[in-house]
Amino acid sequence: MGIIAVSDCLTALRDRAQCALIPFITAGDPDLQTTAAALEVLDQNGADLIELGVPYSDPLADGPVIQAAATRALQRGTRLDQVLEMVQDVTPRLRSPLILFTYYNPILNRGISTFLKQIKDAGVAGLVVPDLPLEEAESLLQPAAAIGIEVILLVAPTSPTERIQQIVQQSQGFIYLVSVTGVTGMRSQIQTRVRDLLLELRELTDKSIGVGFGIAHPDQAKQVMEWGADAVIVGSAFVKRLAEGHPNQGLQTIAQFSRSLKAAITDA
Amino acid sequence: MTTTPLPRLQTTLEAAPQRPDALGRFGRFGGKYVPETLMPALAELETAFHAYKNEPGFQQELQGLMRDYVGRPSPLYFAERLTTHYGRGDRPSPQIYLKREDLNHTGAHKINNALAQVLLAQRMGKRRIIAETGAGQHGVATATVCARFGLDCIIYMGVHDMERQSLNVFRMRLMGAEVRPVSAGTGTLKDATSEAIRDWVTNVETTHYILGSVAGPHPYPMIVRDFQAVIGQETRAQCLEKWGGLPDILLACVGGGSNAMGLFHEFIDEPTVRLIGVEAAGEGVDTEKHAATLTRGRVGVLHGAMSYLLQDAEGQVIEPYSISAGLDYPGVGPEHSFLKDWERAEYYGITDAAALEGFQRLSRLEGIIPALETAHAIAYLDTLCPQLDGSPRIVINCSGRGDKDVQTVTQLLNLG
């Protein structure tokens, strides 16, 4: 079975008037075996796509929960090759396209074309690089497009309209709308300006729009869906649940949580 | 200590491109590798910098404060006994001068940049100031200018650095700044910088980030360099006044590299002036405990800029090590990486042990206690002077005073 493109997956869902759920977990926390199991559990419990974070020593865009998960994963000795081996093993069994979330330095260190080829071979469909804004993304966008990896660019609440226009034009897969001025992490409320940003984006593009950073509860996911998002991305809330207690317990908890999120954005 | 190859002479510098270019690049180095949220703020900062840099009102206020508050110009001091120490009897020998940035208010060059940036922040309408600090000198400088202008000030500092620079922590708090401990990683400058960037991402609409080195995303390496360039500009005038010519060799320590860029910038297009940066070699560049980024690093991206970087085979950033908190950083300003590749500047490492000797030598011979950072540059004279012919004039950037380090050094030296 070939890899389903991120954009195709989202378009198909939109055609059925469905909002996608994209859970995020950190690879190697608590260990890669659990990560592999978690990918399957999420796939079977409401996830439409899954974002997998590659642990990095200096995660500038991440709040305390994902920072801590990355630190733990690195302390266990998690390496990129092992992550990709695990991904290669698991992706044939997944229905959901897999999006890799990684900072730029590990890509640069490996060499852009080598990195892209390796993740493509492992079955990855999309790529998010949080410290690579549009101005620096050119070196990645072309080779990624050539090999068939969709690079998803981010739009922030602070982005002016002219920038947004350029970003939506270049972004592949979908437009990742950052819902807060800040780093990743659970927030108690989603700012109402996300609604305005969604309206603004909708005027500018037909591409799918995913909203992430800060969404932690089913009712927030529902809110964002009602404001017009095509996809809801939930990270820290999954990472935190998976890290609590015994891995088996964590897996059960995220299965339940994933189902509750999907239910919240599915009701008609 | 590394051995010194003979430098390749620079004869043609005409080809020098504008630095940085429109994308904030020094050759392949620099750029803006930051979350999208910060991009508009970086653009706003760059616009403000260009708008005010040469604006008469801004310059008048800055010059007035530089003179009356900071105490500029800082003297260019002939270090007579240090010169004698490296002398060769009756034969010609190197003449050593110190650019006394340690005499600035707050005791280091850091105030030059902090003061200028706070004037920019005011004009941008930002009333909340954040900064990172390693040795605490930049934190103290930022706390100082915030007190002077009545601005909210939050300083991020690694827990390990707070311990070894406790005097500076007290000074910052005394002036009303909030010092936020950062315990991630090794609790040093890298981790404090990451945390300051996270704060900025979160509070970018109300906050100005006074970055303290020629590092970080564009436009910081350019802004900090230009605000520190006063060091080299004064040096040129003072050399002209003292001997009617240029210096032959400039010597400065390099962590992120702001005091070195401040001294070098004025002389980059003067091919006869040799530029030497001294990094922290910790326990030796062949051990795992050092901070010699330009000597041992590979090209990578950290804190928003592409530059040389201490990283492992996976591209994970390595925790650096140095006795000196201000040099204990795994990255380096992108323009230094450019100057190294261009072979316009040379960079060497000095170990903790050699730096401690330099620290004592300047104290005993000149009655000047240098910062441990500065002591690395002083210590390099031991390697440099025996290689030199004639009587070249060496200007060392005496970038900071060492009061803050006395506690650390006390534990290491037994002076009986």
What share of chain A in percent tops pLDDT 70? 99
Interface of B with A in 20-49 (CB under 8 A): 23, 31-41
Let me know if domain A6-149+215-222+230-263 sits in CATH 3.40.50.300: no
From A51, A138, A162, A203, active-site residue: A51
B339 pLDDT exceeds 50? Answer: yes
What share of chain B in percent tops pLDDT 90? 88
Q: What's the average model confidence in pLDDT over B190-204?
A: 94
Is residue B122 within 8 Å of residue B149, measured between CB atoms? yes
Give residue B168's pLDDT: 93
B9 pLDDT exceeds 90? Answer: no
B409 pLDDT exceeds 50? Answer: yes
Give the phi and the psi of residue B155 in degrees, each rounded to 5. -115, 125
Alpha-carbon distance of A72 to A257, in angstroms, equals 23
A115 pLDDT exceeds 50? Answer: yes
Task: Please report the ipTM that was assigned to this predicted complex.
Answer: 0.95
Residues of A in contact with B337 (CB under 8 A): none
Which tokens in the block code for residue A153?
């660019």
Give residue B1's pLDDT: 42
Please, what's the b/e burial string for B4-16 (b: 16 or more CB within 10 A of its CB; e: otherwise)?
A: eeeeeebeeeeee
Decide: helix, strand or coil at residue B69. Answer: helix
| Mean pLDDT rounded to a whole number for chain A | 96
| Mean pLDDT rounded to a whole number for chain B | 94
B110 a catalytic residue = yes
B11 pLDDT exceeds 80? Answer: no
Give the phi and the psi of residue B233 in degrees, each rounded to 5. -60, -45
Residues of B in contact with A80 (CB under 8 A): 314-315
The pLDDT confidence band at residue B3, using thresholds 50, 70 and 90, is very low
What share of chain B in percent tops pLDDT 70? 96
Give residue A192's pLDDT: 87
- In terms of Cα–Cα distance, which of A151, A173, A177, A145 is closest to A164? A177
Give residue B61's pLDDT: 98
Residues from A contacting B (CB-CB < 8 Å) are 56-58, 60-61, 63, 67, 71, 74, 79-80, 104-110, 130-136, 153-160, 163, 167, 178, 181-183
B309 pLDDT exceeds 90? Answer: yes
From B32, B99, B132, B258, active-site residue: B132
Sketch out chain B's domains with CATH numbers.
Answer: 35-68+110-219 (3.40.50.1100), 71-106+225-412 (3.40.50.1100)
Alpha-carbon distance of A47 to A259, in angstroms, equals 8
Which tokens in the block code for residue A51?
């974002």
Alpha-carbon distance of B267 to B273, in angstroms, equals 7
Give residue A268's pLDDT: 55
Q: What's the average model confidence in pLDDT over B26-34?
A: 97
For CA atoms A170, A112, A52, B35, give the dihedral sign. negative
